[in-house]
Structures are given as C-alpha cells and as structure tokens.
Amino acid sequence: MSSEAFVTLATNDGYALGALVVAQSLRKVGTQRQLVVMISRNISNIIRQTLETSFDEIVVVEELNSHDEEHLRLLSRPELGVTFTKINCWLLEKYSKCVFLDADVVVLQNIDDLFEREEISAAPDAGWPDCFNSGVFVYKPSKETFTKLLQFANQQDASFDGGDQGLLNAFFSNWRSADISRHLPFTYNVTSNTFYSYVPAVTQFRNDIRVVHFAGALKPWQLTYNPQNEQLSGNLGGQQTIQREFLLAWWKIMYERVWPQLSKHNQNQLHGGFTGSLLNYGSLTNEQGVQAGSAAHRRAWESGHVDYHGRDSFTNIQEQLQKNLGQQQQPYHPSQQRQVTPPKSTPASANTTQQQQQPTGETTSSNTGASGVLKTTTTTTVETQEKK
Amino acid sequence: MSSEAFVTLATNDGYALGALVVAQSLRKVGTQRQLVVMISRNISNIIRQTLETSFDEIVVVEELNSHDEEHLRLLSRPELGVTFTKINCWLLEKYSKCVFLDADVVVLQNIDDLFEREEISAAPDAGWPDCFNSGVFVYKPSKETFTKLLQFANQQDASFDGGDQGLLNAFFSNWRSADISRHLPFTYNVTSNTFYSYVPAVTQFRNDIRVVHFAGALKPWQLTYNPQNEQLSGNLGGQQTIQREFLLAWWKIMYERVWPQLSKHNQNQLHGGFTGSLLNYGSLTNEQGVQAGSAAHRRAWESGHVDYHGRDSFTNIQEQLQKNLGQQQQPYHPSQQRQVTPPKSTPASANTTQQQQQPTGETTSSNTGASGVLKTTTTTTVETQEKK
C-alpha cells in the first residue's frame, strides 16, 4: 500500500487551498495511502510550506520550455499547458498505482477501495456520460504511457474540449464500452452541476456520496466563511441547499484542519498575529494585494491569479498590513486585510514553532520521447516529518 | 423481426403530436420493426385517427379503477398514475422484444440495432449517470415482469423521483454495475439538458447522435413553425443554437410527414379548408378552444391539457371556426384559429379522402397479481392498412 498514492495538482494558490482540503479530507476519513501534490512554481511560500506539512510528497512541475520549434508549436495552443501539467502524474513511477483527484474536490467517505480498480477507472461525466470525468481517476504511473499521451496530445484536435478531459477520453477511448468495472460509481465524483439537474437523485443517493467535485465556476475558496455561526457568504446566488451544505463541509475541513497550519506559517513569516473572525481567500493566502481592491483585482484573487512580483508582492502586503493595523474592523473589502483567529482546537504553542522540513531527495527525469515534444522535469523536494 | 416493436405512449394531445413525430422519424430512417402507441382515452379524435395511420397498433390504456380499497390507496399517490400507464408496455406479449421511446424524442438515425440488446438496456441519465434515463430502453414484454413491477411500485417510496424513471431504476437496480452491454451509448438518448452543460462534447459527437430527447420543460409542440422560411418562434429564449437545430429537425418531420395527415383528418371532420402558413399546437390539433385565449388557457393547450367536454369541446370549436372564417388573418393569438396549408410534397388528392381503418381485434387482459393491486385493460383497436 505504501507504493500507492492519491495525487492532486495545484497550479495557483486558489487550487492549492483546494489541494490542502483534499489532503485533510482524505486523512480525516482514514486513508492508508500516500498523498502527493504536483505544484507549479508560482505557488506562494506560505501555501507551499503548508502543502509540505499536509502531503507526503511535493512534485514541482516545470513550465513548458519554449526554446525549440516543437515546443513553440505546442505553445501556440496555450490551453494545452494545464493539460500537459496534469498528465505529468503518469511520471510518478515510484508508485505502483495512483488515484488522481482534482484539487476542487472534497472527500466525504473513505475511497481507498479505488486502488482495487485498474487503469483507467473513472466515473461518468454528468454532462456527456459516454465520457468519464477526469476529476477522479485510477491510473498506473508509467513513463511509456506518459510518452504516448504526449504524442497523442501533439495531434491537432487531440482534445475536443481543449482540456485534459477531452484528451484523456480520446486516448482511453474504449472506456465507455469495454469494462463495467472501470466505470466508477458516480458517487465517487459527484459534480456540482448535478445539484441542479436531477435533485431527486441527489437526495436519494446523498448518503452514498463519497466525493463532491466543485466543477462549476464557483469554487469553495471564492467564498467567505464565518466559523462563529458556520455560515458562508459570497457569490452564493442560485446555489441549491444541498450544494451549500457541501460547500460548508469543505469550509469546515478548511477551518478545522487546514487553517491552523496556514495561520502558523503566516505568523512565522509576518511576525504578527491574526485576531479577526472571518476566513476568505485573502486571510488564508495572505495574498490580498495592496492596490485599490478593484473589482478586477478581486476577481484575480478569487480565481487564484495573484501577481507575486508586482501588485501582490510580499513587501507590498507587509506595508498594507502595517496600515491596516491602525484601522477598525470593517465589512470585507478586497483591499483590506482580513484578520482571523485560530480555531479553539489548535494548540497555541503550535503557532510559534515552524515545522522542520527534511529534504529527502531530488530527482530529475526528462522525456524527449519519440516525438521529442517536451522536456518535463519533476523535482521531489521534501517529505515532511509530520504524518497524520 | 415482425415480433419486435418500437413502443411509445401518449397521455394527452401534446404528447400525441410527439408520438406522431416519433413514428414518422422512425419510418424516415427505414425501421424494419412494428410501431405501437399506447394512448389514454382523452386523445382527441383527429389526432387518434392520425395515430392510426402512422402506427401499426394502437393500445388504449384504461385509467386506474378507483372502486376498491387497494386502488384507492394507490390513488392517494396520484403521481404514480402515469408511471403505471407507462409500465403497461410490459403487457405487449405478442412482441418478443420491444424498444420503448418517450413521445418527446426524435429519431435521427436508424436504431434497429437496439433489438440486439437485452432487457434492460438503456443510456445513462445525464443528471445522475448511475441511473439510466427511462426515455429510451430495450425490454422484453412479460406479464410476469409487469406484475412484479406493480408489486414493487406498490411499496412506499418505490420511486425516488415520483415518476417511472425512479421506479424502473429501483427495480432494475443492477443496471449500473452488472453488464456494460446494457449501457446504451448516450447517443441513443441525448437529453436536451446536455446542450447546456457540456457543449464541446455535443459538438464533438454530434454526427453520432441517433436520438434527441426533449426532456426539459420546453417541448417542440409548444413552438410555432413557419415552413416558408423554416423558422421557429415561441419560448426559445436561452436555447442553444444546437438545440434550435434539433427542434427544427422535429418540426420538419412534423411539417413534411405528420401535418399532411393531420390536415386530411381536419378537413374530413370540419368540412373546411386551412390556407394559412404557420403551424402550432392549435393548428395541428384543431383544439385551440374558443374562450378568451387567456394566458392560462394558452398554457393549458401548450402542455396538452385540453378541456374536451367544456371550454374546448368540439361543438364550441366548430362555432369558433365559423366565426373565424369571416376574419382577416392576424398575428397568432391563442383564441384565434390558425390557418395552415399542406406542404407542396403532399398530393392534393390525399386531402379529400379519409384513410380507411381496419379494426383487427380487441383483446382484454386483466391482472390481479399476487398483490391484486390493479386491474389493467389493454385494448388493441386497429391496425392500419397503410404501412410505410
């Protein structure tokens, strides 16, 4: 079992918060498998440190190299960038079998039985159920498969939806008709659009739901959570009651299991305390930025697009914090640093000591494949001492 | 093959128009199977006569009898009435195998290969794909199965959605995991909600689509069709281009293959002519009613709820027609009889001769079953001479 792992992917801070909830929700339901997160280099330090305490392994995925003709040809189709990032999961050959989970899911019940399934096992997509949804799938890491996927992706129109789901469905094209055992129950990947389209079924099978997938435009980390009354606020218009409850489930894990660690790293870096009450993207990432708080800026935060080197640089945040310390607490506004307190379950002493990291190795693998389309470097950076 | 049949169901005039399109769309793609329609007694005469020329067999399904305690108990759950009506299809034992099609589908490509499948074969429901959609399914008629279904339906909460889909999924509960060959491709039952949720897939697999299922609130017969410019009007707000095209496909079959027969029966009964240009529910059914044309009245027509004994009685319609004959043509209003012309492809001579019907038998079967919950009478009324 130690050679089996859950794998997720975070390409910005928003999804990284999601990845933290994925990890903690898996630990909460008692998984016996390793937890791996693939990240791109733009994840902020505070979040990366927290990822290191939550996951057993972090794999840094390099950006596409644009220095040769083949790469440029690929880069003329920028939408495939994220696709290529995701299929890097096939390079994790130290694991005999893996389950990939998108970072916008929350695990409600143990799903370790998924490792009894074979590649590729996935649940039907509620939009077009002859396709599987690529938010949850069982696979076998293999450089050979990775190379074939790259070659396949290099064909024109390889992905009918411009993303990894279209690509993987085209590659594993016999999923629909070959083997019923590779059809995961829908309860292992209940996408949020379902909450609107067939409410009686959601109600009927609700207790069977193991994984909820916030696949729509609204991500849980775009909301604000009040732990005092356990209420959510934000862009909740039109959300069904049942979806609100799942969003709340996500936030409870965030508040009880993720936020204490985030807060700890915040304090270590900022040498200050947080004594507010509401949690939102800004309070969690400490990346609210300092300029204006324009609507565009807020949207950028909410989708996890943070300008680390300019508008949202760490120096600027520190300056803004100094200013905010003299202000009264006000209703949330993007330009204002929200103050938060750790939940009561967090030992106070944990707030002052940074977790020690123990780098255990760095491996680099490059792939040029038959098509020679891409060099991909994976870097195993740390294994944390803390295993929960 | 003669012992295999497509079966559909019409419980009001709106769905009966749909059934006519189902039949003609099947004939257009060259089906080699028999066509059967189950109808309730409230279908108007004009439509019923047209059904008789389009289908090989009409089965009149009786209303539930409320004269004993068991029936009253069932009738306290009125939503099961239509459910029971649909499962009457299992009583058609003269056929060795059947494919049931909801009356709100249109067949775009030949689907006779469905008869190679076994009971119960169906496509996943796009709302909750662990359930099959009960709009298209392969089954084996059997009184024994019918009895078991009735017994099952008699349990409290047998149907989680209050309809036949919940009931049939609960009854055939191993569909999800037992046999991949019983999972029909989604292209055999593409429900209209799909047009919104995963457009790239619809686009990608569009040429594979064999059956479109207008499962949402908007039914094709609620729109108005202008055959001169092949345009639709009505409540089309928010419809995707691709859905408009499928709605148009439905209307082309209605105009070219169904309407000429409807028009013929209209003329025979009304002793008058139709010389307008637009087709809609009123012009097709000759059941626009005569009072007021209130919004509520229009809604009632559009959903097929026609008051045959009062407001919309035949006598009243005749009176209204006499009045309308002296009026100028005006934009559509529910209280006004819309005038229509036959398409050019229709031989003019066909408009004056009523098709001869040849009643071939009447059979009555009653079922009391182990539970004795229901007596169901099916009446085989006619077989038409005209086979296309």
Q: Would you give the distance in Å from CA A275 to the centre of its chain? A: 27
Q: How many CB atoms lie within 10 A of CB A370?
A: 9
Residue B158 burial by Cβ neighbours in a 10 Å radius (0-12, 13-18, 19+):
middle
Contact A130 B180 (CB under 8 A): no
- Domain-embedded: residue B78: yes
Return the bridge partners of A130, or none. none
How does pLDDT run across A199-221, given as a tens digit for each residue?
888 889 999 999 999 987 789 99
Return the bridge partners of A224, or none. A233
Residue B379 burial by Cβ neighbours in a 10 Å radius (0-12, 13-18, 19+):
middle
Rounded distance, CA B215 to CA B217, Å?
7
Nearest to B198 among A125, A180, A202 (CB): A125
* Interface of chain A toward chain B, CB-CB under 8 angstroms: 123-131, 160-162, 166, 176-180, 183, 185-187, 193-194, 197-198, 200-205
Looking at residue B331, what is its pLDDT?
35
Q: Would you give the distance in Å from CA B297 to the centre of its chain? A: 21
Provide the domain count of chain A.
Answer: 1
Q: Would you give the distance in Å from CA B369 to the centre of its chain? A: 29
Return the bridge partners of A8, or none. A37
- Domain-embedded: residue B179: yes
Contact B127 A205 (CB under 8 A): no
Residue type present at position B98: C
For residue A126, the chain B residue with the least C-alpha distance is B126
pLDDT along chain A (388 residues), means of 10: 89 94 98 96 90 96 49 47 81 97 97 98 96 97 93 78 87 96 98 80 92 90 90 81 90 93 71 55 61 42 41 42 42 34 38 35 34 33 35
Contacts of B116 in chain A (CB under 8 A): none
Looking at residue A141, what is its pLDDT?
98
Contact A128 B160 (CB under 8 A): no
Contacts of B132 in chain A (CB under 8 A): none
For testing contact with chain B, the best of A79, A125, A128, A195 (most B CBs within 10 A) = A128
- Domain-embedded: residue B44: yes
Contacts of A124 in chain B (CB under 8 A): 124, 129-130
- Domain-embedded: residue B230: no
For residue B204, the chain A residue with the least C-alpha distance is A160
- Domain-embedded: residue A361: yes
Q: Nearest CA of chain A to the CA of B23: how many Å?
A: 26
Residue A99's H or E segment, with its range, is strand A97-101
Among B288, B322, B359, B357, smallest CA distance to B44 is for B288
The encoded tokens of residue B211 equal 């059956």
Among A181, A128, A132, smallest CA distance to B186 is for A128
Nearest to A129 among B129, B202, B203 (CB): B129
- Domain-embedded: residue A293: no
What's the pTM value of the predicted model, to 2 decimals?
Answer: 0.74
Contact B131 A201 (CB under 8 A): yes
Nearest to A180 among B129, B180, B186 (CB): B180
* Interface of chain B toward chain A, CB-CB under 8 angstroms: 123-131, 160-162, 166, 176-180, 183, 185-187, 193-194, 197-198, 200-205
Contact A201 B161 (CB under 8 A): yes
Tell me whether strands B383-384 and B357-358 are parallel, antiparallel or unpaired. Answer: antiparallel
Return the bridge partners of A57, or none. A36
DSSP string, B297-361: HHHHHHTT---TTTTT-HHHHHHHHHHHTTSPP-S--TTSPPP----TTS-GGGGTSPPPEE---
Across the beta sheet with A211-213, the strand order is A105-107, A211-213, A190-191
Q: Nearest CA of chain A to the CA of B87: how many Å?
A: 21
Contact indicator for B97, B115 with CB cutoff of 8 Å: yes
Q: Nearest CA of chain B to the CA of A111: how many Å?
A: 17
Among B374, B379, B378, smallest CA distance to B150 is for B374
Prior bond to B317 cis, omega within 30?
no
Rounded distance, CA B106 to CA B101, Å?
9
Rounded distance, CA B158 to CA B142, Å?
20
Residue A380's H or E segment, with its range, is strand A378-380
The encoded tokens of residue B85 equal 């009506």
Contact B201 A131 (CB under 8 A): yes
Among A203, A95, A5, smallest CA distance to B166 is for A203
How does pLDDT run across A68-124, given as a tens digit for each residue?
344 434 445 555 556 678 999 999 999 999 999 999 999 999 999 999 999 999 999
Q: What is the dihedral of CA B314, B316, B319, B324, to 10 degrees?
A: -100
Q: Nearest CA of chain A to the CA of B220: how many Å?
A: 20
- Domain-embedded: residue B69: yes
Q: How many CB atoms lie within 10 A of CB B101?
A: 29
Rounded distance, CA B281 to CA B284, Å?
5
How does pLDDT run across A39-82, given as a tens digit for each residue?
988 899 889 999 999 999 999 987 543 333 444 344 455 555 56
Return the bridge partners of A190, or none. A212
Q: Nearest CA of chain B to the CA of A150: how many Å?
A: 21
Nearest to A180 among B161, B177, B193 (CB): B177
pLDDT along chain B (388 residues), means of 10: 89 93 98 96 90 96 49 48 80 97 97 98 96 97 93 78 87 96 98 80 92 90 90 81 90 94 71 55 61 42 41 41 42 34 38 35 34 32 35
DSSP letter (8 states) at residue A274: -
At A351, which CATH number?
3.90.550.10
User: What residues make up the domain containing B161?
Assistant: 4-184+344-384
Contacts of A193 in chain B (CB under 8 A): 197
For residue A178, the chain B residue with the least C-alpha distance is B180
Nearest to A129 among B126, B162, B177 (CB): B126
The encoded tokens of residue B370 equal 């182990």
Q: Nearest CA of chain A to the CA of B127: how many Å?
A: 5
Q: How many CB atoms lie within 10 A of CB B315?
A: 8
Contact indicator for A288, A306 with CB cutoff of 8 Å: no
Nearest to B129 among A124, A178, A204 (CB): A124
Q: A347: number of CA atoms within 13 Å, CB side?
A: 4
Rounded distance, CA A377 to CA B121, Å?
47
Rounded distance, CA B304 to CA B289, Å?
12
Nearest to A201 among B160, B201, B203 (CB): B160
Contact indicator for A274, A341 with CB cutoff of 8 Å: yes
- Domain-embedded: residue B256: no
Nearest to A193 among B178, B197, B204 (CB): B197
For testing contact with chain A, the best of B128, B156, B204, B206 (most A CBs within 10 A) = B128
